[in-house]
Structure 1
Amino acid sequence: MIEIPKMEFIEYFNAPIEKVWQIFVNPNGWDPWFTDGMKLELKEGGGIFFRWVRLTHGETVEDKGITMIFEPCKNWEFWWYEYEDGFRSHVTMSFQANGDKGTWVKIQDKVLVTEINELPIAFGCAFGWGQMLCLAKAYIEKGLILI
């Protein structure tokens, strides 16, 4: 097992927390602005199904996850990135209101890497979270779908 630090990504959204939460945490997940057919059971222990096509050059990429903690407008914690006997990525998304108008979103991701040649898995997750936050910001603040 290689110990790599937890990755952390923070973004400010110029929108109320209820709107930001609803865009990130809803039955269709991050469709239409990031995923293509994501499904989310809105409860602790609920399943997550991820699907990408537009961001993967037409190749269908699918994965599963499970929600561990579900606190509306506060925290969504889940495992995803399925592999042999579990999941590689433990994610916590925290939502914090900044007055009545804005919301801070913090994503923490602890990725399991067992050997050095698996480091690209963590790098790919880091790239994906940055891309996801950028696309979410355009969608939430301007109504734009950039993919």
Structure 2
Amino acid sequence: MLEIPPMEFTEHFNAPVERVWKLFVNENGWDPWFTDGMKMELKNGGKIHFRWKRITNGEEVTDNGLTIALIPHRLWEFWWYEYEDGFRSRVEIKFQENENEETWVTIVDHTLVKTIDELQIRYGCAYGWGQMLLLAKVYLEKKIILI
């Protein structure tokens, strides 16, 4: 097992925390701006089903997850990236509103990497989280779907 610190990504949203929270944490997940048929149970221990098609060149890519913690307007923590022994990644999405009713979203990804050869998994996750935050920001602030 490689000892690698978690990856962290932060984005500013020009919107109150309630709107930003609903964009990320809702029964339909990140549809229509990032996923294609994502579903989530909004409770601790709730199941998550991820599905992508538009950002994967038409190939259907699916995954499952499980909510660890759900603190409204503050934190959504979940497992995802299923593999033979369980889940490979634990993710925390943190929401912080400032005095101007703008919101900072921070994603902390603790992805398990067993060998140097598996570092590509982290690179893929890093690319995906950056893409996801950009698409979320454009969708929320400009009402534009880029995919």
Kindly provide the CA deviation profile for residues 70-120 of structure 1, in whole angstroms up to 9, marking residues without a partner as x. 001010000000000110111000001112431010000010011111110
Residue ranges of structure 1 left out of the alignment (5+ in a row): none
Give the corresponding residue for 2:47.
Answer: 47
Give the corresponding residue for 1:130.
Answer: 130
State the aligned residue count: 147
Aligned partners of 1:55, 1:81: CA distance in 2, in Å? 17
2:145 match: secondary structure: coil
Aligned partners of 1:139, 1:78: CA distance in 2, in Å? 23
Aligned partners of 1:20, 1:100: CA distance in 2, in Å? 14
Aligned partners of 2:22, 2:110: CA distance in 1, in Å? 24
Matches within 5 A, 1:82-97: 82-97=82-97
* Residue type of the alignment partner of 1:115: T
Matches within 5 A, 1:97-116: 97-116=97-116
Matched, 1:72 2:72: yes
1:88 match: secondary structure: strand
Give the corresponding residue for 2:12.
Answer: 12
Aligned partners of 1:142, 1:53: CA distance in 2, in Å? 23
Aligned partners of 1:62, 1:42: CA distance in 2, in Å? 19
Aligned partners of 2:140, 2:101: CA distance in 1, in Å? 13
The CA RMSD measured in Å over matched residues stands at: 0.6
Aligned partners of 1:103, 1:116: CA distance in 2, in Å? 36
TM-score by length of 1: 0.98
Give the corresponding residue for 1:38.
Answer: 38
Kindly provide the CA deviation profile for residues 26-69 of structure 1, in whole angstroms up to 9, marking residues without a partner as x. 00000000000000100000000000000000000000000000
Give the corresponding residue for 2:59.
Answer: 59
Q: Cα distance, 1:3 vs. partner?
A: 1.3
Aligned partners of 1:72, 1:109: CA distance in 2, in Å? 19
Percent of matched pairs sharing the same residue:
65
